[in-house]
Amino acid sequence: MEILVTGHPQRWEELRNSRSFDGHAVHWEQELQPQRSPADLVIDLSLDEQPENLMLYAMKPEVPVLACLVKTAPAAWAHYPHIYGCNLLPGFISMPRLEIAHAAPGKQLENIMQELGWEYDVIQPATGMVTPRVVCMIINEAYFTAEEGTASREDIDTSMKLGTNYPYGPFEWSEKIGLRNVYEVLQAVARENGNERYGISPLLQQEYEAQL
């Protein structure tokens, strides 16, 4: 299978170091070229940040696309049956199972994942998906706790790992995912459903703005 991977180099590094492409010809380019070489599959690691690529994919419905669409509302892409929303945010790419959003995945996705040899779970399309939304909410709550002075960041991380058997504490997760991604996931979910529970911690907001 000819596979074109496009997107941020950090995500490409995590992908190629954690998932096998044995038996496939893989080409990576940071910026998608409109006159790209023919491919049997496209993996777009940064479609959330480069939504203009969506129109290029819409013009090639015969080429399936696995795309990072965690922060993009499904209304913008879910009507394209060949585009599969994936959790390809930093820190999640190397997880054992890939989270894929699609209303009716069918045989095409099954065949793709079988050829790749990757484990995966299918969910219904939703902004924030499942794992990113939950983890980002935990990180946000950790920021509220740190802001109150109830515990240090190190103590919060240690408590979460010991108490829940999570692989990382919330602040460790935040570093892996990137604070900008955490902020934008929370912002996107809050924008879609208007629920106050996704209100961003002032401390998280402050640190996010300091990085701009």
Contacts of 13 (CB under 8 A, 6+ apart): none
Q: Is 166 exposed, middle or buried (0-12, 13-18, 19+ CB in 10 A)?
A: middle
**Mean pLDDT within 125-132:** 97
State mean pLDDT over 14-22: 96
**Contact of 120 with 100, CB cutoff 8 Å:** yes
Alpha carbon distance 147, 88 (integer Å): 29
The answer to whether the CB of 152 falls within 8 A of the CB of 55 is: no
CA distances 46 to 21, 25, 160, 169, Å, are 19, 21, 30, 25
Give the model's pLDDT for residue 37. 65
Average pLDDT score over residue span 140-153: 93
How much is the pLDDT for 212? 84
Task: Provide the token pair at 93.
Answer: 């790419």
Instruction: Please tell me the predicted confidence (pLDDT) of residue 165.
Output: 83
Tell me how crowded residue 103 is: count the other CB atoms within 10 A of its CB.
11
pLDDT exceeds 90 at position 150 = no
Per-residue pLDDT at 35: 67
Return the structure tokens found at 1. Answer: 């299978």
Does 80 score more than 90 pLDDT? yes
Percentage with pLDDT > 70 across the chain: 99
Residue 195: its pLDDT value, please?
77
pLDDT of residue 166: 85
Q: What is the mean pLDDT of the chain?
A: 94
pLDDT above 80 for 50 = yes
Of the pLDDT bands very low, low, confident and very high (cuts 50, 70, 90), residue 96 is: very high
151-208 per-position pLDDT tens digit: 999 999 999 999 888 889 999 999 999 999 999 999 999 998 877 788 999 999 999 9
pLDDT tens digit sequence for 31-40: 998 766 679 9
